[in-house]
Amino acid sequence: MSLVVRDITKAWGGFRALDGVSFEMESSGLLGIIGPNGAGKSTLFSVVSGFIAADAGSVALDGTPLDRLGPAARARAGMIRTFQVPREFHHLTVRENLMAAAPGQSGEGLLGLFLRPGRVRAEEDAIRAEADATIDFLRLARVADTPAGRLSGGQKKLVELGRALMAKPRLILLDEPFAGVNPVLIEEIMARIRDLNGRGIGFLVIEHDLDALSRLVPRLVVMDRGRVLATGTPQAVLADAAVREAYLGG
Ligand code: ADP
Ligand code: MG
């Protein structure tokens, strides 16, 4: 069971943001992606998660081609992403943010409310219970009723993870989960990721903080200027001459 990304190319105008990117991972594994700003990491996530179409190449999850599916269908197929800049609803509470992220709510349509009010109520209760369990797991109970816009950067990253978890994915794509997060909360987020991975949920993690990422994942993909420079253990890629040149400045 794996995520297979093959030869992805994506140009913005004449500029090749992704230029033949390939990698594979166990869908229940932990893989990191590092690379300097502008390397194409977030664009790669947008292609893999279906938010933008690639010019060429393919993405398959556990043997199913995803290329024709949009983000919601890919989420239903078991894969969901978070964004580098958290997209929480500022005015909604943490609990409401998680509840809003639950997929397939029949109460979404007004018609459903008229036809089956009891069922909608039961579904909402189930979603609320799921949200509260996720909030407890993420140690966010103290801020469950706080508008998400008032949280710290690190707490917003946890809410973003919580929103992803509400879709019950097998594989989560995290875009810079440690950026702008204080060191204590970085450890907290890492602990939750390890815990979830221990329960069989895979993670593909983009991160700028090489030190933190190296402590989290056993294997890294290094990107630069739209290409994969190296793949391997953190130790191996850091010893790679091309990586040192591009990423660490020699
Ligand atoms: P990273 O996440 O590694 O910092 P990005 O994937 O965000 O890199 O960006 C890769 C390159 O593509 C950058 O040069 C960026 O300016 C460009 N780019 C990203 N998104 C767009 C877009 N929507 N339109 C035009 N150029 C873009
Ligand atoms: Mg980025």
Is the CA virtual torsion 134, 139, 145, 150 positive or negative? Answer: negative
Closest residue CA from atom 17 of ligand 1: 17
Ligand 1 atom with least separation from CA of 45: 6
pLDDT of residue 110: 61
The token duo for 60 is 């398959």
Instruction: Indicate whether residue 17 lines ligand 1 (CB < 6 A).
Output: yes
Is the CA virtual torsion 92, 93, 99, 105 positive or negative? Answer: negative
Tell which one of 42, 43, 83 to mutate to probe ligand 1, the residue whose CB is within 8 A of the most ligand atoms. Answer: 43
Could you please state the CATH topology (level 3) that the domain comprising 2-88+152-247 is classified under: Rossmann fold (3.40.50)
Instruction: Indicate whether residue 40 lines ligand 1 (CB < 6 A).
Output: yes
Q: Are strands 171-175 and 64-65 parallel, antiparallel or unpaired?
A: unpaired
CA distances from 125 to 32, 89, 118, 122, 178 (A): 36, 21, 11, 5, 32
Could you tell me the residue ranges of all domains in the chain?
Answer: 2-88+152-247, 93-150
Instruction: Indicate whether residue 37 lines ligand 1 (CB < 6 A).
Output: yes
Instruction: Indicate whether residue 38 lines ligand 1 (CB < 6 A).
Output: yes
Ligand 1 atom with least separation from CA of 36: 3
Residues 6+ apart with CB under 8 A from 179: 84, 153, 207, 208, 209
For the CA of 222, the nearest ligand: 1
pLDDT of residue 248: 63
Write out the chain's pLDDT in tens, 250 residues. 999 999 999 999 999 999 999 999 999 999 999 998 999 999 999 999 999 999 999 999 999 999 999 999 999 999 999 988 878 889 999 999 999 999 865 555 566 666 677 777 888 899 999 999 999 999 999 999 999 999 999 999 999 999 999 999 999 999 999 998 999 999 999 999 999 999 999 999 999 888 889 999 999 999 999 999 999 999 999 888 888 887 666 5
- Complex ipTM: 0.98
The rounded Å distance from CA 42 to ligand 1 centre is: 7
The rounded Å distance from CA 36 to ligand 2 centre is: 9
Q: What angle do CA 193, 125, 153 make, to 5 degrees?
A: 35
